[in-house]
Amino acid sequence: MPFENENTILKLRSENNEDKFHKSYEAALRDVEKLLGKEYPNIAGDEIKENSKLSDISPIDGREIAKFQNGSRESLDKALRMLSRSYKAWYERGYLERARIFLRAADLLSERKYEFSAILAWENGKNRYEAMGDVDEAIDFMRYYALSLIENQGFIRFTGKAYPNEESMSVMKPYGVFAVIAPFNFFSITVGMTSGPLIVGNSVLLKPSSDIPLASYLFVRLMHDAGVPKENLAFFSGSGSNIGDTLVTDDRVKGVVFTGSRSVGLGIFHKANSKSPKIVVTEMGGKDAIIVTSQANMQKAIEGVFRSSFGYSGQKCSACSVVYVHKDVYESFMEGLIKRTQKEEPMDPREKNAFVTPVINKEAFQKYKDLIQKIKEQGNVVTGAKVKEGSGYYCYPTIVTDLKDDSFLLKEELFLPILAVKKVDSLEEAVRRVNESDYGLTGGIFTESSEEISYYFNNVEVGVIYANRSVGGSTGAMVGSQPFVGWKMSGVSGKGTGSFYYLQQFLREQSQTIVH
């Protein structure tokens, strides 16, 4: 079967049936309330309850919506023992069976897509469009990796004869146990990070973000229902102080998959390899920039920068946080961008018209408030730099201009709805500034000149780049067609998620020869 993106909203719009989306989503919002207010166990073969608990807090209003386990080292030891002794049986079921299970799981998630989307509104504050796109991407990851595994015949190849009486083959085999340390901002990243090592025959321990444990828990339950043995996929919530170092350094953990901040990612990389080499696949964010040249279509550029900067309140590793604007169009671009930004204010993500939604938690909210005065000292705030009073964690989209070259706003990832704008004299200057960044995750350009697009594509040191993408100038990579990969400090592997290169990172090659 050929791969096809789930694309729920696009397909309903093509059928002139978007009302179905809203009715189904709102019904799901009401229905998932029955899942709230409960306590959920860790899962490592059996269900595990601990004396210490973690609270799942909704950014909508700051209330606790569920309790999870603060996993202990003793429970983690039992989980790792189980996972390490069982991975071979999972691998030996064969690549076709593992792919079939994942295709079934994708179908189950597709049937429950509205439920999972509604949960994301409660847990990480996504509006309905962002939430559905997130769940669609999770479905895409499972299907794409399953079909990739089938297409590559389990990554087993005959390699010919070194001598007439020999037969040789290359067999890619799993390492054993992978720890997946997931972020809060994308359910699909949790699913993709788990699917990669698991589908090729490793066991996986998923440590969810403490901000979206419920969606992660229900995903693991769904995978077990689809046929993944409980002995090969564990759900293990817990604080970093309790289990973090053990999860990374334990000899039974052969690899770590992480998405999150640069500082934590580098720490994991060094700790994991402190005793012996381990596979560490990290994506560590970005300081993503969009370039607007003098040849840009202003409407496309304004919309593309706005959506990329302030969609999900800037809490995407692909979000635009710097825009370099050619001096000849600077004034007209800024006028339009400010006007467009001021049309939106942060809203409850459950509302139909919500675009800008709350930041993830109290810490992010406080970080935004603490930055406001510092931002005003560094540049000129043209809009935003304020919060919405009341319950929940709502921050206004903020645009800052007139910044010095050494400003932290041009260099550091903030993961908040804050956009820095810098005037430039040329495309060459803009590309140079992009390349001077430590990061290299995503970026974009707005120009109607094919020569400028070619120059940008040929010279910019960034893993994922777009030209004239008004739906999101640096955001919205689609599984299959747009592999998501970070260069420089944005990642360590140089291989993208949703790509034909991704699965082999979780396998090691064995050369086998038989002499006749």
Please list the active-site residues: 283, 317
- 491 — phi, psi (to 5°)? -175, 165
- Between CA 68 and CA 49 the distance in angstroms is 9
Q: How far apart are CA 103 and CA 404, in angstroms?
A: 51
191/210 Cα distance (integer angstroms): 15
Q: Quote the CA–CA distance of 326 and 324 in Å, as a whole number.
A: 7
Q: Centre a 10 Å sphere on the Cβ of residue 160 and count the other Cβ atoms it contains.
A: 9
Contact 358, 393 (CB under 8 A): yes
What one-character DSSP code corresponds to residue 312?
G
First to last CA, the chain: 39
d(CA 462, CA 485): 9
258 phi/psi in degrees, rounded to 5? -135, 140
**In 368-410, which ranges are E strands?**
380-383, 398-401
213-232 in b/e burial notation, b at 16+ Cβ within 10 A? bbbbbbbbebbbebebbbbb
Residue 489 near residue 472 (C-beta atoms within 8 A): no
Report yes or no: 154 and 172 within 8 Å, Cβ to Cβ. Answer: yes
Question: Which residue, chain included where needed, has tokens 């996504």?
Answer: 126
Query: What's the number of CA atoms in the CB half-sphere (13 Å) around residue 473?
Result: 32
Q: What gap in Å lies between CA 125 and CA 469, rounded to an integer?
A: 25
Cβ distance 139 to 231 under 8 Å? no
Residue 304 DSSP code: H
Q: What is the DSSP string of 385-414?
A: --B--SSS--B--EEEES--TT-GGGTS--
Two structure tokens written together for 504: 């082999």
Cβ atoms of 212 and 57 closer than 8 Å: no
Residue type present at position 184: F
Angle between helices 450-459 and 427-435 (to 10 degrees): 20
Contacts with 104 (C-beta within 8 Å, 6 or more apart), sequence order: 226, 227
